[in-house]
Copies of this chain bind each other. A is one copy, B any other.
Amino acid sequence: MIEPSGRRERKKAATRQKIADTALRLFLERGYDDVGIRDVAAEADVAVTTLFSHFAAKEALVFERDQGFERGLVRAVADRVPGEPLIPALRQEIHAMVRHCTAPEAAPVRSLIVSSPALRDYEESMRLRHADALAIAIAAELGVPETSTACRTIARFVIDAFALACEAAEPGDAVDEVFRMIEAAWDASRLA
């Protein structure tokens, strides 16, 4: 009775994708605030309730791909080659994420996000969740309690690096600059 194999899954994924694609297209054409949920649903040919069964909020329509970011961060901590130090592994992962977000083909979506306070706030709240997940992963890796202030601090700093680098003129250099500071902070903590 489990394992909903095949067609059902594919159809559901297709519906979800169609909604996301339609939404992004309309947002880019007419602006985020000038496209209503009812517009998106109509254009994607689904009911409004169906749209909300796939996406928790209007803002989520824009951040379809960012689900992998959190997983990537946690993996960068948990699955790194034995003996590899933590911070450089995270630096590498943040580099990849920043490259992804600042790639030329991502520019229209970027400016869409920047132009809407609602989207900016939503993105920041996503980052907070990422930081919490990362803190838990780091704590698990080091064998300290999840509530360890030092772990949570490092996790936040790493997410800050991501956020700041995405807005910097030279994103790659910014990642390195912030990570020099994070490395020092790490050495000054009791975790190193």
Total copies of this chain within the assembly: 2
Q: How many residues of A contact B (CB 8 A)?
A: 32
Chain B residue numbers with a CB within 8 Å of A180 are 188-189
Alpha-carbon distance between A156 and B160 when the two chains are bound, in angstroms: 7
Distance of A77 Cα from B187 Cα, bound (Å): 26
CB distance from A189 to the nearest CB of B (A): 5
Least distance between A139 CB and chain B CB atoms (Å): 13
Q: Quick one: CB contact mask for A62-101 with B, threshold 8 Å, 1 for yes?
A: 0000000000000000000000000000000000000000
Looking at the assembled complex, report how far the CB atom of A128 sits from the nearest CB atom of chain B, in whole angstroms.
6
A187 and B184 contact, CB distance less than 8 A: yes
Listed A/B pairs (20) with beta-carbon separation below 8 Å: A124-B124, A147-B168, A149-B177, A149-B178, A150-B181, A153-B160, A153-B164, A153-B178, A154-B181, A156-B160, A156-B164, A157-B157, A157-B160, A160-B160, A177-B189, A180-B188, A181-B185, A181-B186, A182-B185, A184-B185
Give the B-binding residues of A (Cβ under 8 A): 121, 124-125, 128, 147, 149-150, 152-154, 156-157, 160-161, 163-165, 168-169, 174, 177-178, 180-189
